Amino acid sequence: MKPAEAWRRRRVFVTGCTGLLGAWLTRWLVEQQADVVGLIRDHGPQSNFYRLGLDRDIRIVHGALEDYPLVERSLNEYEIEVVFHLGAQTIVGIANENPLSTFRANIQGSWNVLEAARHRKGIRAVVVASSDKAYGAQAQLPYREDAPLIGRHPYDASKSCADLIAQMYWHTYHLPVAVTRCGNFYGGGDLNFNRIVPGTIRSLLDGQRPIVRSDGALRRDYLYIKEAVSAYVLLAERLLEGQAGGEGYNFSHGQPLRVLELVDIITGLMGRADLKPVILNEATNEIPDQFLDASKAGADLGWKPRYRLEDGLKETVAWYEEFFKAQHDAQAAGQQTWAKSV
């Protein structure tokens, strides 16, 4: 079966479908004519999900991951075959301030999805989003999949737990589940401007110096969001073929960058090297160096990155230029309408 044929009319459940990855993955699935059901907790009308009109293309279940009966009913009622579990509380700062709500969303939410999938006999593939943060701080870099999962801070620990629970469902119940571990995503549609890529782009478009909340020396992997979509889809296809069950896979370009290096690249691409970053050095509970070895994904899955960093960033900058222009035009039109009415 060809990859495109594998998804036509396939019944797919996506948690976190309005998030950065969720929206792009949902769009890809819709383009492949999959029958997609999305779980949505909060309505964010400016999110890329709604900008792409995906709310008109899929069926929507409103609710939270913490609601087990809702998750179980959704998988059964819509006769789901494939689950992409992306939904989570993803902000490190919020996790530090609110660990319990993070644990409920990221750990309880994950076991709810996995347990509901265990009871749904038609499930053929479950892909669970873990993170490079699940490894915690390691003496040996880059991270390989055989490294222990030892997250020590709230967000990191929540990902370690969810990752291990997912593996348990394979080894104990033979649920066809696999885990992704990626670095930092970037791409159009990320409206959390505390993150370095969208925050830097917005500052530069506004003619302001970008803000770096850490000391700028942290080394991280950065993965373009369209690259991430291809990774998730490929892993699900391998599960549908009866492979990769119980495995965790790193996905990375293998080109870690310090935060300040990334900011320099963005300012160069946007022609604003004159706007030097403001370094706040106020980030806490951050691991200095985190980056991944993706050779296992290459060997087992045949995955390899397709986008150069600069190409992904150019597309990302173009997305935000269009996004902010549309906002400006809408505000101007609204002001004209108001002026005519008074």
**Active site (catalytic) residues:** 155
Separation in Å, CA 28 to CA 25, 31, 238, 282, 305: 5, 5, 17, 38, 17
Please spell the DSSP secondary structure of 87-147, one letter per residue: -----HHHHHH-HHHHHIIIIIHHHHHHHHHHH-TT--EEEEE--GGGG-S-SSSSB-TTS
Alpha-carbon torsion angle 114, 222, 217, 295, nearest 10:
80
Handedness of CA 223, 225, 230, 231 (dihedral sign): positive
Please spell the DSSP secondary structure of 25-71, one letter per residue: HHHHHHHTT-EEEEEESS--TTSHHHHTTGGGTSEEEES-TT-HHHH
Pairing of strands 257-258, 219-220: antiparallel
Pairing of strands 184-186, 222-224: parallel
Name 295's Cβ contacts closer than 8 Å, sequence gap at least 6: none
Distance CA 326, CA 266 (A): 22
How crowded is residue 185: how many other Cβ atoms within 10 Å of its Cβ?
Answer: 22
The beta strand positions in 150-204, using DSSP E, are 177-182, 184-186
Distance CA 228, CA 51 (A): 20
For residue 277, give the DSSP letter. Answer: P
Return the structure tokens found at 113. 């999805």
